[in-house]
A and B are shown apart, each in its own frame.
Chain A
Amino acid sequence: MDEADRISDIWGARTPHARDESWPVRVDMHLDGDVGEADVDRWVQSACVLCSNGCACDIAVKDGRMVGVRGRAQDTVNHGRLGPKGLYGSWQWSRSDRLTRPLVRENGELVKSDWDTAMGRIVERSRALLDDVGPLSHGFYTSGQLFLEEYYTLAVIGKAGIGTPHMDGNTRLCTATAAAAMKESFGSDGQPGSYTDIESCDAIFLFGHNMAETQTVLWARVLDRVHGADPPRVVAVDPRTTPVAEAAVATGGVHLAPMPGTNMALMNALVREVIHRGWADRDYVYAHTLGFDELAATVEPYTPEVAAKICRVPASDVRRAAEIFGTSPRVLSTVLQGFYQSHQATAAACQVNNLHLLRGMIGRPGCGILQMNGQPTAQNTRECGADGDLPGFRNWDDAEHIDQLARLWNVDPLTIPHWAPPTHAMQLWRYAEQGSIRLLWISATNPAVSMPELARIRAILAREDLFVVVQDGFLTETAQYADVVLPAAMWGEKQGTFTNVNRTVHLSDRAVDPPGEARSDLDIFLDYARRMDLRDRDGAPLIAWTDPEGAFAAWRECTRGRLCDYTGLSYEKLRGGSGIPWPCNDEHPEGTDRLYADGVFPTDPGVCESYGHDLLTGGSLDERTYRALDVRGRALLKGSPYTAAPEAPDDEYPFAVISGRTAYQFHTRTKTGRSRQLRRAAPEPWVELSVADAARLGVAEGDVLCVESPRGSVQAPARIGRGRDGVVFVPFHYGYWDTPAGRAPGDDPHAANELTLTEWDPVSKQPLFKVAAARVVRVADGTGPAAAPTTTASAPARPGAVAGTVGGPGAATQERVGESAPPPAPPTPEHTPGVPRHEATDRS
């Protein structure tokens, strides 16, 4: 057994291996203080909810409290490993300043109350608005952090009970583009690839994905290939010198650092190169895709030189990256916020799909696409329809799909709003701003820090005519604006399931009791449905279940025959062993590792989740137009020209400012900010700028800077880092709950979203967090270096200039390598369950 400080050593000990060998097991464990493994009373099965990776773990319980975690060796996702957030951040918050009683607003103040009063107020307002205005007065804004059972229950309440189309989640800000890109290319949401592709790829492309910090355990998996025999080449697209970019250089790959907002020009050039240099697999393209000629025409103007000029990267690097993609036998691609939160998000993410389709690299070992998620349970928000989707990946524009749901819920199909796609978050907030949404119910998320243009969001939350309900474990910035605050049980205090990036479903059992009067989010939703007396068309209660397992059973029925088929799963089956990836049914009881092995996709009308959109405008195709395409199970190659971003640096605002993440914090820090080790590792925000920009502005490390955009400003110490010139980086985690001002900037504005703009991708509607223009002003001398981590992309440009980030004795973590054999990978069916069969298109 080895001991490691997993603050300074984020990815832990290497267990290198060669291509096509399994990833060895390493069990990571961290326990509080002097608690030893033998002192633990109980280990309760769960998986980490501090990023989308979904590492399986057991929660250590002692004297009725959570005291640590241990990775599950038998799980296919993490083979026993955990990262810093999971180790130090997943349980410590449970013993701090939790909400223990409902709060209601009296004379402008939030005061302690009880469940009857709080729920009574919500129901009273809800009823009055339904009578007066109707369902369009209600908006539900949820999260990427609840459990599947909670989302599904919320979806049924909203869509079949209240009948409002205004239902979305924070997932809009983090993963909407992943879903949108898969719908456009493959007809449906559903991750084609698997983590097991890491073991067998020859090249790995990370598009706008700093995996080393966002999914640290997944990166450890990549590092074990990079350090083993026949390592894959890494290609990184990122304006910062991330650990991923360093790996790109070390493996003979390429680091491309395009100017923010120009991804589409780069992607068009890569697609063009693959076509021009003859690397496309013509047979695959012919048999399994539609739209090649139009795509080829669209990308034709984007020579490497044209892209190089727009993106400000060397044309030779563009060529080299295309060559690696075009000539490596097996390529794995991953995509995240650098694409999803930037300009032309869906169009750019679709080009990643196109690269794989052109080379026929899908559904085979090492040939995967991982359109990543940000938040841990984002996949479930999408599947269950608690965001702007319909449950079970159903198509809002397909009358038969609506009928299926109406039959399942036993309601009139007209109750289910389907005259247009469900309202996306940005529009939902706009309706609240205009006063037509008058009840906004926010669950388990913190828009007062996470949404763009915070001054605007605060003004909306503070509107007199908007009744705000917030359901959370803590008095977040957002909760402080609420009319009613409902105390929610959190991870480890309730039961449920959730699904990670590669479709793996995990069960999370209840380890301890929730504090005070806190209730699970599921119980809160059920209570609302009961008090509202929501009924089906025969007068029976609309929601027939009363506990998580009942909700799971109902959800299973909802997925029957769909791509996200859960019918082969149960709590019993998920307990004890590994998580299992859907689709999982009677025929495929062990689940599905990779989708689309035979190149047949769920694009048929009648099956597809969407008829698709024009990528430039987001205009949607109607059923007739789509049917006329005669897709027959083929994937769609869609393109778009590059267009200039809505905001670009100019004389007044000469910098591009991008927001992003650090390895030690999650989201708005409600959990990780309450962990001693994580808080120490990344205590406060910083402003990162390049060496040349710092020299030009006369800025030294630690000097206090003010970053100003047309919308607001942020003040923080300078980190002279390793990003590209002209780009400033600000971490987005830091709000105000732990400052004197509490919910708003006061005289210390430091939330990155003070700067960002209200603007979104036309297809996925994901906001553009990475294209704001700003100016940078030095306002004061520093008192020492910025407290930015040195172990990550925020490392100082001059090594050794700043004391290294360490965890110290309190961060001791045990790592046990190779105690058991790696779990076997799940099977890959020859034909994907839930997808209609088609014979390959014949060339004649």
Chain B
Amino acid sequence: MHLATYLGLLHHAEHTLAEAFRRVGDGHAAEPDVFHLCEVLARQCDRHTDALVPVVERHDERRETEPERLLTAGLGETRSGGVGLLRDLQDLYTLASFVDITWTVVGQAGQGLADRELLDVVGTCERETAVQLRWLRTRIKQAAPQALIAAR
């Protein structure tokens, strides 16, 4: 069963996203809302990772050999300025979207297995990931015109 592989993938992706939130927050500390919310959302990702641990452990015994090139790459150095912020938020958006669809994938497997514990975790984390995406989209929309038109 490849579910274990995918749970591992998701675990890793949430961890990567948490790190990315922290990196973007620190890199743009002069934007107080970005700094603060990135930390709040990073902690949310940490909780998602923790919530996955028991499920991962439960399914780990039945792990297949891992196919290649599954893991997501993290974020590099953050960029600076208005356009840099925009671009970094877009990177976060991409990562969070990946996490989001991975929860969907895992949730489908949970349905197939009627794994109630897993479905509970998926329900909460999927909802919170949707909020993360919503915030990113809102902030990107707000930042875009000024960064692209008026910034020097």
Contacts and interface: CB of A to CB of B under 8 A. Distances in A.
A836 interface: no
B146 A136 contact: yes
A136 B151 CA distance: 9
A431 B142 CA distance: 12
A133 B144 CA distance: 15
B149 A421 contact: no
Contact of A436 (B30, B31, B135, B150): B150
A137 B146 CA distance: 9
A617 B81 CA distance: 22
Contact of B137 (A133, A436, A619): A619
Interface residues of A, number: 31
B151 A421 contact: no
B150 A137 contact: yes
A760 B33 contact: yes
A619 B150 CA distance: 24
B75 interface: no
Given A619-B131, A759-B36, A762-B37, A420 B142 contact: yes
Contact of B149 (A133, A757, A762): A133
A430 interface: yes
Interface string B15-36: 0000000000000001111001
A759 B132 CA distance: 19
Interface in B50-94: 81-82
Contacts of B37: 617-618, 762
A136 B138 contact: no
B36 A436 contact: no
A766 to B, nearest CB: 12
B117 to A, nearest CB: 18
B131 A617 contact: yes
A778 B145 CA distance: 49
A541 interface: no
A617 B132 contact: yes
B152 A616 contact: no
A550 to B, nearest CB: 33
Interface in A727-768: 757-760, 762
B118 interface: no
B32 A616 contact: no
Contact of B152 (A419, A427, A436, A620): A436
Contacts of B36: 646, 759
A546 interface: no
A614 interface: yes
- Among B30, B32, B136, B144: residue with most chain A CB under 10 A: B32
Contact of B151 (A434, A617, A757, A760): A434
B41 interface: yes
Contacts of A427: 142
B138 A619 contact: yes
Interface string A376-397: 0000000000000000000000
- Among B30, B41, B82, B134: residue with most chain A CB under 10 A: B134
A616 B146 contact: no
Contacts, number: 77
A621 interface: yes
A128 to B, nearest CB: 14
Contacts of A618: 33, 37, 135, 138
Interface in A419-434: 419-421, 423, 426-427, 430-431, 434
Nearest to B127: A294
Interface in A212-260: none
Given A617-B40, A619-B134, 9 more contacts: A133-B149, A136-B145, A165-B145, A419-B144, A431-B146, A434-B151, A436-B146, A616-B131, A619-B133
Interface string A402-445: 00000000000000000111010011001100111100000000
A620 B138 contact: yes
Chain B: number of interface residues, binned into ranges: 20 to 34
Contacts of B33: 426, 618, 759-760, 762
A420 B141 CA distance: 6
Contacts of B82: 434, 436
A810 interface: no
B40 A643 contact: yes
Contacts of B150: 133-134, 136-137, 431, 436-437
Contacts of B137: 619
Contacts of B132: 617, 619
A434 B149 CA distance: 13
A802 B120 CA distance: 62
Given A434-B82, A759-B32, A419 B145 contact: yes
A347 to B, nearest CB: 12
Nearest to B44: A616
Nearest to A438: B150
B52 to A, nearest CB: 20
A619 B141 contact: no
Nearest to A643: B40
B83 to A, nearest CB: 11
A707 B145 CA distance: 40
B70 to A, nearest CB: 29
Contacts of A431: 146, 150
B151 A420 contact: no
15 contacts: A134-B150, A136-B150, A419-B145, A420-B145, A421-B142, A426-B33, A431-B150, A434-B81, A436-B146, A617-B131, A618-B135, A618-B138, A619-B132, A758-B32, A759-B33
Contacts of A759: 32-33, 36
Contacts of B135: 614, 617-619, 762
A419 B142 CA distance: 8
B152 A435 contact: yes
B35 to A, nearest CB: 8
A757 B36 CA distance: 12
A482 to B, nearest CB: 22
A646 B40 CA distance: 10
Nearest to B124: A297
Contacts of A165: 145
A622 to B, nearest CB: 8
A424 B38 CA distance: 20
Nearest to A133: B150
A426 B30 CA distance: 12
Given A427-B142, A434-B82, A616 B31 contact: no
Contacts of A617: 37, 40-41, 131-132, 134-135
Interface in B100-152: 131-138, 141-142, 144-146, 149-152
A319 to B, nearest CB: 29
Nearest to A759: B32
Shortest 10 CB-CB contacts between residues of A and residues of B: A619-B134, A619-B135, A617-B135, A136-B150, A436-B150, A420-B142, A436-B151, A759-B32, A420-B141, A619-B138
Nearest to A758: B32
A684 to B, nearest CB: 31
A587 B132 CA distance: 46
Contact of B134 (A621, A646, A758): A621
B131 A614 contact: yes
- Among A133, A437, A617, A760: residue with most chain B CB under 10 A: A617
Contacts of B32: 426, 646, 757-760
A445 B31 CA distance: 24
A743 B94 CA distance: 47
Nearest to A417: B145
Given A419-B145, A614-B135, A430 B31 contact: yes
A445 B131 CA distance: 36
Contacts of B131: 614, 616-617, 619
